[in-house]
Chain A
């Protein structure tokens, strides 16, 4: 991969939006199997599920959950921004939308965190 051969032409907002979207997607995809497995503990061992859920009271876990909610929101709003650019006839100021999408995601994740603590 010659991706990193001294290239610096990536320091612009839309590229950051792209990399955030990609990394959030990969993060969510890696998290999902774990999420599904824990939930299916309700089937085999509800007590164990409660055990895991009790973990969510711990501060570092709450922080991780905040991170996950942020990833979810960022990925969705970033994706909707992309689809608006691709499929809707108007071409809005892309940078503003990208920033707006990230800000909104952060807000939602923060709301989650506030309710959690």
Chain B
């Protein structure tokens, strides 16, 4: 049950993430050559402001986008509505953000 505001947030975060996804796919395809290792990943991301901003923005956007997307599914397929639906959406949003922010921090400036 999307109103205009949620719809716009959904679409805008989608547009925001398009270049981020392309970048992420490119990095992944590059990184898996020769096998993955923590050292290789951290060697690239540790101390990097650029990667912090890149993945930081990604986490913010995906938390909003995912929470709104799942909200629709929870309503249409799960029958959730009213306050329960709102609460579930916010919990998912904050949950994704918390986990994501921690991951970004872990690989950049921790």
Contacts and interface: CB of A to CB of B under 8 A. Distances in A.
Q: Do chains A and B touch in the complex (CB under 8 A)?
A: yes
Interface of A: 1, 22, 25-26, 28-29, 32-33, 35-37, 39-44, 46, 49-50, 53, 56-57, 69, 72-73, 76, 79-80, 83, 86-87, 108, 111-112, 115-116
A79 B24 CA distance: 17
B32 A43 contact: no
Interface residues of B, number: 36
B96 A33 contact: yes
Contacts of A73: 25
B21 interface: yes
Contacts, number: 91
Nearest to A87: B11
A83 B11 contact: yes
B70 A29 contact: yes
Given A26-B73, A83-B14, A115 B32 contact: yes
Contacts of B87: none
Contacts of A33: 95-96, 99
Contact of A41 (B14, B29, B37, B106): B106
A69 B69 contact: no
B3 interface: no
Given A40-B105, A42-B38, A116-B32, 14 more contacts: A26-B73, A29-B69, A36-B102, A42-B42, A43-B102, A43-B110, A50-B37, A76-B17, A80-B14, A83-B15, A111-B29, A112-B29, A112-B32, A115-B33
